[in-house]
Chain A
Amino acid sequence: MTALALSPLATLSRRRFQLTARTPRELLVPLLTPIMFALVIAPSLKTALHTQASYESYVAIGTIGLLIPLNTMFAGLGVIVDREGGAQRELLAAPVPRALIVLGNMLVAVAITGLQVAVLIAIAVARGIHFDATTGGVAWFLAAATLFTVGMYGAAEILANRVPKQEEYIARVPAIAILPWFVAGALFPITALPHVLRWVTKFLPLTHGLALMRYGLLQDGSGLHNIWGMSDSAAMAALSLGVLALFALLLGVVSVRVFSRAALR
């Protein structure tokens, strides 16, 4: 990307950040459910199910798998607000490639999600949850979290450009952001699922994201093994990263196309 293109991208990202910073609900609401899981539900499950401390670590990563979809879907609402009562048409009339409007929004969604994930991990560490992170592990974690966030923001942007009203958008959020979370290995390994459902979950990007994030921060390759059935953890991690990269690329490209088509009547 040339320096010429970066300047408007920075302007568009700055605008989106300013708008987001003025709507605290977009920053706080997505955090509420994962924090409640980390502070209340995970400790309760640990007690009720007589699990070990490692289960809290397991669920701590699982809550990140809820935070990312919730936050990106909330970010997508901004697209509808822009279209219905904001400055979207002014941006469309600007002498900048329209893909940059999507990329500017996406950058801010990724940055804010990163901030929220950091807050969630900080809370977990403060509660005494143990992470076994190495430099390489953190890199796997960051790559997985970033690619999954990009893909999920792409899904949010596509949905926001396909539905006419905020109400319709909100009605679809649970199916996209929450439902997969219950079956993607957030709270329990996917091996506990019925056979058919286990196969289905192997195709969910969230399953790969969670397995890879656990591999990165907990040095736990069991999630990857449950997906791929191989013994080489690094190879399985690379495969899951490839799945996430494909997910991010596909949804990113489609979101730009959908936005451009929706913008141009």
Chain B
Amino acid sequence: MIEVDELRKVYAGSVEAVKGIDFEVAPGEVFGLLGPNGAGKSTTIGMLTTTVRPTSGTARLAGFDVGEQPLLARSVSSVVFQDSVVDRSLSGRRNLDLHARLWKVEAAAAKERIDELVQAVGLGDLVDRPVATYSGGERRRLEIVRSIVSDPRVLFLDEPTVGLDPLIRAELLDLIAELRDRSELTILVTTHYLDEAERLCDRVAIMHAGAIVALDTPERLRAGLGRELLELRVDGDAAAALTSLRSRGIAHETAFTVGSTLTVPLNGHSTSEAIAAIHELGIAGAVSARRPTLDDVYLRLTGGRLAEAA
């Protein structure tokens, strides 16, 4: 449904925002693009939604080339933008109706679909009020409803929950999960909230500095770090501690540091064996053992840039 081939974007000043990426998303699949700010996620979505001109490479949505057939590519897709993109002085219904008309949804069908969707997301009482009176969460729900009024085949969600409080975020994740379950919609979602990616996505691509550094299911990506890992909050030089653990054969290539935190996948070593080695080496700090998460995969691959971005 989405085919991306050697897609590249160089902005003025030779800033290479996206470095020739490739991926494919199957019909009905939810695909996540993860990465810190500046990784190239929004530029990628911009190229797929034809608001950013690719420097080279191609992308197709439902078979339509975004460069050669932009109107057809846009007709099968919809976007929920990172920040609010609505006409605030118009009512929610007017915003929804505008989308339906521009995407050429037949009037009676549009009305029926709008009524059904606004009830489903709890906006029934608000939809005829100006959007300026909506809360942030209500506005987000309206934008999600708007994006599916035209029954798109491809939906782009660009950081859909960024800046929202935890309760609204949880509600929106439920809504997106429901979309995923009840339709054959292909979704491409960008986020740097990894719990979102784990919950929603069939596969994720981790972007770093304009390139895709990993692409697989969340389970397989986690499996790359083994079944268990140790996390050390080191009182001192974490890099030096990592070097010592490597020399003892406890830490391998997959171990990494972010600030003063050292993360060591155990890869067959037992927890007690590893902790004993830590004590013997005189590495001071708090130690805990846990199962790997997607955060660990992400942090290992992006070198802790997430922390900088947050």
**B51, A15: Cβ atoms closer than 8 Å:** no
B91-107: CB near A (< 8 Å → 1, else 0) gives 00011001101111000
Q: Are B85 and A95 in contact (CB under 8 A)?
A: no
Chain A residue at minimal CB-CB distance from B143: A90
| Overall SS of chain A's interface | helix
Pick from A16-24, A156-164, A201-209, A236-244 the stretch touching chain B.
A16-24
Q: Chain B, 60-82, contact with A by CB distance < 8 Å: what is the 0/1 string? A: 00000000000110110111010
Q: Is A11 an interface residue (CB 8 A)?
A: yes
Say whether B288 faces chain A, with CB atoms less than 8 Å apart.
Answer: no
Check if A22 sits within 8 Å of B51, measured CB to CB. no
A197 interfacial contact with B, CB 8 Å: no
Which positions 35-57 of chain B face chain A at CB distance < 8 Å?
A: 46, 49-53
List the B side residues contacting A235 at CB < 8 Å.
none
* Residue among A7, A23, A95 facing the most chain B CB atoms (10 A cut-off): A95
Judge if B88 is at the interface, Cβ distance under 8 Å. Answer: yes
Contacts of A264 in B (CB 8 A): 50-53
Q: Does A111 contact B (CB under 8 A)?
A: no
Contact with B along A72-105 (1 / 0, CB 8 A): 0000000000000111111111111100000000
From 244 to 265 in chain A, residues with beta carbon under 8 angstroms from any chain B beta carbon are: 263-265
Which one of A8, A12, A90, A263 has the greatest number of beta carbons of chain B within 10 Å? A90
Q: How many of chain A's residues touch chain B, expressed as a range? A: 20 to 34
Interface string of A103-116 (1 = CB under 8 A from B): 00000000000000
Cross-chain contact B87 with A87 (CB below 8 angstroms): yes
Among A8, A22, A90, A93, point to the contact of B101 (Cβ < 8 A).
A8
**Binary flags per residue of A1-33, CB closer than 8 Å to B gives 1, else 0:** 000000110011001001100110000000000
- A-facing residues in B271-305 (Cβ within 8 Å): none
A15→B79 CA distance, assembly (Å): 19
Residue B86 at the chain A interface, CB threshold 8 Å = yes
Return chain A residues, CB-CB under 8 Å to B50.
Answer: 92-93, 264
Residues of B within 8 A of A92 (CB): 50-51
Partner of A265, one of B46, B86, B88, B94: B46
Min CB distance B150 to A, Å, is 9
Chain B: which residue is nearest A8 at the CB level?
A: B102
Docked-complex contact A86 and B88, CB < 8 angstroms: yes
**C-alpha spacing A264/B46, complex, angstroms:** 9
A residues with a Cβ closer than 8 A to B are 7-8, 11-12, 15, 18-19, 22-23, 85-97, 263-265
A-B pairs with beta carbons under 8 Å apart, 15 shown: A7-B101, A12-B102, A15-B90, A18-B90, A19-B87, A22-B89, A87-B95, A88-B85, A89-B51, A90-B85, A93-B49, A93-B79, A94-B99, A96-B102, A264-B50
Given A19-B90, A93-B79, 7 other A-B residues pairs in contact with their CB atoms under 8 A:
A8-B102, A15-B98, A85-B84, A92-B51, A94-B102, A96-B71, A265-B53
The interface of chain B, by Cβ under 8 A from chain A, is: 11, 46, 49-53, 71-72, 74-75, 77-79, 81, 84-90, 94-95, 98-99, 101-104, 146
Which 5 A-B pairs give the minimum distances between C-beta atoms? A95-B75, A94-B102, A95-B74, A11-B101, A22-B89
